[in-house]
């Protein structure tokens, strides 16, 4: 009913307030303002505090500016993204087929990691073979003879 009364073009907000309110009470200024302004043109005052103010171009953003409640791994990902790094790049190694002389490099935060070998491309592909890869010990895939070596990247925390 309220929406129908407000959207009708034949009544003005002041007349509408006089019809809906008791005769002894005066219309509130905030109600008149909310009825006369369009909702798409301005941000409602109650939601202005929900959005952060735009930052100038020369200041560095912090995680609190992007997502104030981020903690743990999510916070690490956001900090890295603001610095231009990708924390999760270690999960998708890409490179040439690993040989004994130049093994495929796999990044890890720890000294040991589980690695899956899908084989080469095209006809050389095989079912994924999973194995533990340890620091300082190159590993050879038993199916396609591809060599893997682990390198330690950034530390956690």
Considering the domain architecture, whether residues 102 and 130 belong to the same structural domain is answered as: yes
Task: Please say if the pLDDT value at position 5 is more than 50.
Answer: no
Per the structure, the complete domain to which residue 118 belongs is given by: 94-152
Considering the domain architecture, whether residues 19 and 63 belong to the same structural domain is answered as: no
Confidence at residue 67, expressed as pLDDT on a 0 to 100 scale: 82
**Residue 108: inside a domain:** yes
**Residue 157: inside a domain:** no
**Residue 51: inside a domain:** no
Considering the domain architecture, whether residues 78 and 109 belong to the same structural domain is answered as: no
Question: What pTM did the predictor assign?
Answer: 0.49
Domain count of the fold of the chain? 3
Q: Choose between 73 and 59: higher pLDDT.
A: 73
- The CATH number that applies at residue 101 is 2.60.11.10
d(CA 114, CA 137): 13
Considering the domain architecture, whether residues 100 and 69 belong to the same structural domain is answered as: no
| DSSP β-bridge partners for residue 104 | 148
Mean predicted confidence (pLDDT) in 50-75: 71
Task: Please say if the pLDDT value at position 80 is more than 70.
Answer: yes
Reported confidence tier of residue 102, pLDDT bands at 50, 70, 90: very high
Residue-wise pLDDT tens digits, 25-52: 444 444 444 445 454 555 555 555 555 5
Considering the domain architecture, whether residues 100 and 135 belong to the same structural domain is answered as: yes
Summarize the annotated binding site for Zn(2+) as residue ranges: 117, 126, 141, 144
Nearest Cα to 119, choosing from 90, 142, 138? 142
Task: Please say if the pLDDT value at position 114 is more than 90.
Answer: yes
Summarize the annotated binding site as residue ranges: 117, 126, 141, 144
**Residue 65: inside a domain:** yes
């Amino acid at each position: 009913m309220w929406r129908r009364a407000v959207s009708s073009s034949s009544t003005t907000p002041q007349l509408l307030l006089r019809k809906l309110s008791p005769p002894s009470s005066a219309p509130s200024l905030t109600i008149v303002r909310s009825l006369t302004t369009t909702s798409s043109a301005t941000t409602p005052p109650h939601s202005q505090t929900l959005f952060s103010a735009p930052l100038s171009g020369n200041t560095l953003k912090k995680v609190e500016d992007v997502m104030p409640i981020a903690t743990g791994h999510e916070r690490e990902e956001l900090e890295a993204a603001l610095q231009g790094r990708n924390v999760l790049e270690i999960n998708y190694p890409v490179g040439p087929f690993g040989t004994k002389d130049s093994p495929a490099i796999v990044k890890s935060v720890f000294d040991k990691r589980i690695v899956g070998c899908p084989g080469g491309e095209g006809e050389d592909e095989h079912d994924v073979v999973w194995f533990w890869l340890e620091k300082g010990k190159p590993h050879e895939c038993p199916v396609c003879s591809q060599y893997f070596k682990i390198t330690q990247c950034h530390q956690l925390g």
